[in-house]
Structure 1
């Protein structure tokens, strides 16, 4: 590719994802390729470096989730912080020099390059571990490409050719700078095909569970999310049902119990590991207030969002007031893990897909929705009350501020204020440094 997305093998220490002495290697800023890819131990260390990379605050340490709500939350949340980049995103006035948009692009491709290095050296990995190592690397690459194409390209639309420009697909290590690195943008269709290839392969290769790392069920859960984004409802239903019916995960007894935890809960399918020594939780930084480790209460919750909840809903009780403003209480612990995929989402995906298809795979839509309502302290509803519109409203309540809003608006072809789902303003620009360095990169409409 080019300088802005070239990476030497960074962050190989077992940082946020420490779980065993076997993987406890010393952190390094860079490491010689001949050393890093020459043995089973060092290739596995590089894989740990990939997990550390995706835990960065610009990625799944918070901002990748935060920006989905800033971009899609007009009228329901208000950004009042002093940082210019998230303010541009919230106002839908993003510039090509936006620091957050640039960091997301660069950090994502650094992560992709790290796992490409891992995949290039599978032959030195112990035979018994090769499938697992390949599966984890492919899961990470699929996750990164999925969110790259959702932020930097127009939305995938089912039944269309989807030949709109996506993002560059790079599947081999970038280890030097040459004209060969000046790649072009693949189509949205091609990027989604690559995401599905990586995640289905990962689901086949990985063990069912894998500690805090990606397992087969983790890949299936992310596949359910991808299929839903593509309107492939039967596939989304089957993937979500596989995760639910595995019995490996369970809803936490209370809604608040799903958040602000220093270790994974029964509900966490995949989470970024954070502790007082390492890792970052930017959701706390921006959504919370100083007494809980946040900034100055940068993101306020408005009455239009609070009106979505019934008075008795325990999810409403999690909001709190400070200085006359309302904030979400989901992130009032700066050392809590960042939940990326949790079981509640799988129930919502299965309920929505079953509702759209008129099926009852695993459970009826009403049964799945009532599980979540009961956990929130609400009474059961009947089948007549739980139609598709209600399921989508329940999704907004249950998953609020967890990185879904703009992506749901786009797949449902809704709007954000005066902006239609396909407005240029709802797509991140390709960073200016990228278009300058790579003459083959075409900028998104509206940013030229």
Structure 2
């Protein structure tokens, strides 16, 4: 059952032909009559396929993967060019908004708006931030319609689970809306009225209330199909929500962050500590093409699932593999046919691993590390970056791969599309959240916090630390080492006060080679200009 759901996401949906109506591109649910040409709420079986659409809307640009903007039913977000459709999925956009905007990634591409993310000078007409707004709005619309329509079915246990999963997926989308855009409309029912603007406080309260309710309505830990969420996903999102509560609503909720982190830690999910060959380090297997079955899946609380045959799509996980390859690197070693010569990392991030350097080059620059999380490729690459668009400047970070644990390539023999699943939550984050919340004054156990961090470091082959080493300065670096390129870095830097301002600089922060201070309003993205034109009830975020 766990592997079956990966294919259900696309295969069982091909005949449903959902058509979203977001022509005005505002945060407003679509009419349920526009969602399908068939009665998908006829029974539990068809409702399950409709539920799969909600999961799929996090994975690709549309019903058929989204690569063809002209083939019915088309992408979830109408009106985009073909090129734009290819880059309009949640994972691709998250990579740019939460990684490329930080010290983790520098991009060499010059598509309109892309360097503005790189240099933190985006506007309300930026493709990447705007399309994320539309993507999340589409997900919320799909969820609202599903939650309303599934009520027409008999109130069986399965229907209750489906509804709870849809409510979780909607809460997750609103979490990202709140994190990225601050004050946005909160709409939970199908309506033709223009929505009013809500505050971050309103959104936080809604997300918290929804999760506290659905955590007891979702399936028990480890009992759902792989790719579908259970109660632990709600605990994990609550953990992240409470850890960032001071940013979102100005309240200290670290005790709650400790509680829900530990609930997740004590669930059926475990760290993947032994690789397929029986070795003691297995960090890299979390990011391979068979991570749904190579042992990594025991750590994944919520994943976005990909399949090289059934979710053939240029964005998503395909970009995470191809986009970080180029130069002299051999793409076949990562299970794909080519690299896209796009993304590298900064010297500032490489320096987070200075304690683990085992070899340097003639210039004294590091080229080998004892920590297995330091997945840097240095041949032909310079450590320093003086020109963001020159791909040979900056070390490569080929963390994601389409190879299987046995060395074979993913299911697409052409090496284009990848099988690698992308975790939204994995257990390692709960270890980090528990430790950080405890350090910040939450009612956690100092000994447990230290043990959790050392468990992660031991898996990576890194040296363990003592209680005196476990500080907040250590934690922001450890979070980067463990979770880079998993679309969390911007949120972490904001919480630590390092994203804006001048306390922490990296290459091209603020558009300057050595980095410069950035105004605090950049901590949230602007509401799209077109949305403001369409809805006079909305006001732009300060600074834009």
Q: Report if TM-score (shorter chain) is over 0.5.
A: yes
Q: Is the 8 A contact 1:67 1:86 kept in 2?
A: no
Partner of 2:219: 207
Pick closer, same or farther for the CA change 1:285–1:232 going to 2, 3 Å. Answer: farther
2:376 aligned with 1:319: yes
Take 2:51 and 2:447, find their aligned partners in 1: how far apart are those partners? 38
Give the C-alpha shift of residue 107 in structure 1.
1.5
1:244-271: per-residue Cα shift (whole Å, max 9, x none)? 1113332343211211233422211111
Q: Is the 8 A contact 1:369 1:391 kept in 2?
A: no
Q: Is the 8 A contact 1:285 1:295 kept in 2?
A: yes
Give the C-alpha shift of residue 356 in structure 1.
2.6
Pick closer, same or farther for the CA change 1:263–1:202 going to 2, 3 Å. Answer: farther
Take 1:131 and 1:106, find their aligned partners in 2: how far apart are those partners? 28
2:467 aligned with 1:383: yes
* Range that drifts further, 283-292 or 437-446: 283-292
Identify which of 121, 125, 134 aligns with 1:97. Answer: 125
Q: What is the 5 A alignment of 1:50-65?
A: 50-56=54-60, 58-65=88-95
Partner of 1:11: none
Q: Is the 8 A contact 1:81 1:296 kept in 2?
A: no
2:209 aligned with 1:197: yes
Take 2:433 and 2:541, find their aligned partners in 1: how far apart are those partners? 31
Identify which of 143, 153, 158 aligns with 1:129. Answer: 158
Take 2:138 and 2:206, find their aligned partners in 1: how far apart are those partners? 18
Identify which of 134, 145, 150 aligns with 1:106. Answer: 134
Take 1:316 and 1:187, find their aligned partners in 2: how far apart are those partners? 38
Partner of 1:18: 7
2:400 aligned with 1:331: yes
Give the C-alpha shift of residue 284 in structure 1.
2.4
Partner of 2:39: 35
1:63-92: per-residue Cα shift (whole Å, max 9, x none)? 21332122232xx54221122233211111
Identify which of 113, 132, 138 aligns with 2:167. Answer: 138
Take 2:339 and 2:213, find their aligned partners in 1: how far apart are those partners? 41
**What's the secondary structure of 1:329's corresponding residue?**
coil
Identify which of 167, 170, 173 aligns with 2:187. Answer: 170
TM-score, scaled to structure 1: 0.84
Take 1:275 and 1:96, find their aligned partners in 2: how far apart are those partners? 34
Pick closer, same or farther for the CA change 1:414–1:393 going to 2, 3 Å. Answer: same
Give the C-alpha shift of residue 297 in structure 1.
2.7
Partner of 2:70: none
Partner of 1:188: 200
Give the C-alpha shift of residue 205 in structure 1.
0.5
1:338-357: per-residue Cα shift (whole Å, max 9, x none)? 12111111111111122233
* Range that drifts further, 397-406 or 276-285: 276-285
Identify which of 201, 225, 232 aligns with 1:217. Answer: 232
Between the two proteins, the alignment pairs up a number of residues equal to 414
Identify which of 145, 157, 163 aligns with 1:117. Answer: 145
TM-score, scaled to structure 2: 0.70
2:303 aligned with 1:271: yes
Q: What is the 5 A alignment of 1:236-255?
A: 236-253=257-274, 254-255=282-283
Partner of 2:456: 372
Give the C-alpha shift of residue 377 in structure 1.
0.7
* Range that drifts further, 21-30 or 386-395: 21-30
Partner of 1:354: 438
Identify which of 498, 513, 531 aligns with 1:434. Answer: 531
Q: Is the 8 A contact 1:17 1:48 kept in 2?
A: no
Take 2:88 and 2:428, find their aligned partners in 1: how far apart are those partners? 25
Q: Is the 8 A contact 2:97 2:128 kept in 1?
A: no
Give the C-alpha shift of residue 61 in structure 1.
2.8
1:295-319: per-residue Cα shift (whole Å, max 9, x none)? 5332211222111112244335411
**Structure 2 stretches lacking a partner, 5+ long:** 20-34, 61-86, 246-251, 275-281, 358-368, 382-391, 403-417, 503-509, 511-516
Take 1:381 and 1:220, find their aligned partners in 2: how far apart are those partners? 28
Give the C-alpha shift of residue 359 in structure 1.
4.7
Q: Is the 8 A contact 1:60 1:340 kept in 2?
A: no
**What's the secondary structure of 1:364's corresponding residue?**
helix
1:126-155: per-residue Cα shift (whole Å, max 9, x none)? 4121321121011111111111111112xx
Q: Is the 8 A contact 1:167 1:187 kept in 2?
A: yes
**What's the secondary structure of 2:469's corresponding residue?**
coil
1:129-186: per-residue Cα shift (whole Å, max 9, x none)? 1321121011111111111111112xxxxxxxxxxxx111110124xxx5x1x21220
Partner of 2:384: none
Question: Which structure has more helix as a fraction of its residues?
Answer: 1
Take 2:302 and 2:422, find their aligned partners in 1: how far apart are those partners? 9
**Structure 1 stretches lacking a partner, 5+ long:** 1-14, 154-165
Which of the two has higher C-alpha Rg? 2
**What's the secondary structure of 1:390's corresponding residue?**
helix
2:131 aligned with 1:87: no
Give the C-alpha shift of residue 358 in structure 1.
6.7
